[in-house]
Amino acid sequence: MSSSSQNWQRPWWLSFLDRTNITVTAITTISILLTRSAGVAYVGAGAVACSLSVKVLKRGIQQPRPVLGKKKSYGMPSTHSASSGFFLAYVPLACLYLPLHPSVPGGVVARVLVPVVVVPWAAMIVLSRVWLGHHTWAQVTVGCAYGIVFAGMWFMLWTQGLVEYGRTAEDLADSIFGWR
């Protein structure tokens, strides 16, 4: 006779969260292509930089994942949690303090709606890493904190000067491709 744990089926939303890296990557890529905004591309680059730097840390720390987990790489800090923490922090900062790109529709609605969707989704991704058995609470806490700090520094770099390079890049792309 099989136990109830063997018959347990993962809810659809937990399966979705387990593969959310594909969804987040696709949404970020589509956002870059639709807006043609250097700022949006910069956010995507920041998420990638955050993720890659966490992978380097994992190799240095070499803390294993939970025993029942199926993943083979190290667990501390959680890469998904770091990337989620990055978006969780950067998106509200951008919506609060940066001017909207001319290609972004919705004005005030975009400033409110985007963080209202991104923040809880990012938090659910972080929680799901423990629920799915991929990480411990310590691993997701450190990962999320790392992503939040990384986002703060990335945002500061943008607002303290890199935004000018972004404008130059947009002007150059416009002159080459005639986007505006």
Tens place of pLDDT for every residue, the chain, 180 residues? 444 455 567 777 777 676 787 888 877 887 777 777 778 888 899 999 999 999 999 888 887 787 776 667 777 888 889 999 999 999 999 888 877 776 777 777 778 888 888 899 888 888 888 887 888 998 999 999 999 999 999 998 888 887 777 677 766 766 676 666
Q: Tokens at residue 123, please? A: 């938090």
Is the pTM higher than 0.85?
no
- Could you state, in order of their start, the residue ranges of all structural domains in the chain? 12-174
DSSP one-letter code for 76: S
Any residues with CB less than 8 A from the CB of 51 and at least 6 apart, and which?
A: 79, 82, 83
Give the Å distances, CA to CA, from 147 to 11, 89, 90, 133, 137: 27, 8, 9, 21, 15
> How many angstroms separate the CA atoms of 146 and 152, rounded?
10
